Amino acid sequence: MSSNERALVYRVIARLNVGGAAMHVVLLTVGLPARGFASRLLAGRVTEDEGDMEYYARDRGVELLRVPGLDRRLRPFALLGAFLFLYRTFRRDRPEVVHTHTAMAGAVGRAAAILARVPVRVHTYHGHVLGGEYFSGGATALFLRIERLLGRWTHALVALTDAQADEMATGLRIAPRDRFAVIPLGLDLERFRLLEPVRALFREKLRSELGIPLGARVIGIVGRLVPVKNHELLLEAFRLLAESTGSDLILVVVGGGEREEELRALAQELGIADRVRWMGWQRDVPEIYPALDVLALTSRDEGTPVAVIEALAAGVSVVARAVGGVSRVLEGGKWGALVHESDPDAFAKALAVCLEARPDPEARDAASARARDRFGEQRLLREVGSLYRDLLAGRGPSY
């Protein structure tokens, strides 16, 4: 490849459902051409019970190449069709790099790339289902064997955190630790900085639309309405807080999912239904954060929590359960309050302390700048581009 040519990268993901992985792959597809890599995004379809983020790709001019048979479901014959489609595509177009994201796309995409003799094969673990919580023991053992086999033929495995890389290498023995590159999630956080001059206008606009007085104290939660997000903990903590602090407290719930009806019923049972605003899925999430005083995260587990990163970038205080990668994002509590117990009373007390604290513009600006530096788009593009160049030059971890 001459200095004037751009290496062709085919990026494969199971589907563009709501979450950090979808934003991550779109930003890579858009940004890498300027760094010497022609980039194409291949994806399956979002199922009906998921939030769809394909608009995020369309809005940035990304044309998806649809992979038939690829989605979240484990359907052997459909996945065989996806594998054959990818194999033929790679044989025809001869990409220099195939980079897969998420488990299903990682399995069929890497298998197709191996058989098609793609020179460089990379996979990113945005999470995994290998710990035994998702499938039976026999199925988990089978998936582990598949991952270990694929790991032998993958030039670089990308983890989002050092802890994740250590777990995959040492705990699950997917591949040697030196096969892993650690590249944190990357997000478009500049839009939060650009909104700062009109922050007050967006705060007033959204509160007016939701019927929230400007002087009210607003707690928000952003995420899918699914069991792992543990919304009931926040609803119960909110009830305790409302009982102890007065009537000016409002909860804003952003997101949709399978538990919405159940959670609405719980809010009614707890006597707080009139204080909760259910917003459903939202495309313009950056415009929502200025209306919040605190962003809450009550998840049972998290990898790299997008909502927490976005809240920091938007200058919103954070109270979060200390699970998974949350403590790392908040740097041990430097940039937000960490709650170690899954206890409504403990969470309510942390929220109360945060709401009563006097706003500190300097601390808010420092947290925002730190989030953009650690999880911003340009850092992501720089690190992934460097990895590709090293692999193509034979300097990667597997050579």
Per-domain boundaries in the chain: 7-188+376-392, 190-374
Burial 138-152 (b: 16+ CB within 10 A, else e): eebeebbebbeebbe
pTM: 0.88
CATH assignment, 7-188+376-392? 3.40.50.2000
CATH topology identical between 7-188+376-392 and 190-374: yes
- pLDDT tens, per residue, the chain with 399 residues: 444 568 999 999 999 998 889 999 999 999 999 999 999 999 999 987 778 899 999 999 999 999 999 988 889 999 999 999 999 999 999 999 999 999 899 999 999 999 999 999 999 998 765 554 455 566 668 888 989 999 999 999 999 989 889 988 998 899 999 999 999 999 999 988 888 888 899 999 999 999 999 899 999 999 999 999 999 999 999 999 999 987 799 999 999 989 999 999 999 999 999 999 999 988 888 889 999 999 999 999 888 899 999 999 999 999 999 998 899 999 999 999 999 999 999 999 999 999 999 888 899 999 999 999 999 999 999 999 999 999 999 876 654
Structure tokens at 4: 């004037």
Rounded-to-integer distance, Cα 54 and Cα 52, Å: 6
Residues 6+ apart with CB under 8 A from 172: 128, 130, 144, 147
Return all residues near 288 (Cβ < 8 A) that are at least 6 apart: 206, 220, 222, 252, 254, 279, 282
The CATH number that domain 190-374 falls under is 3.40.50.2000
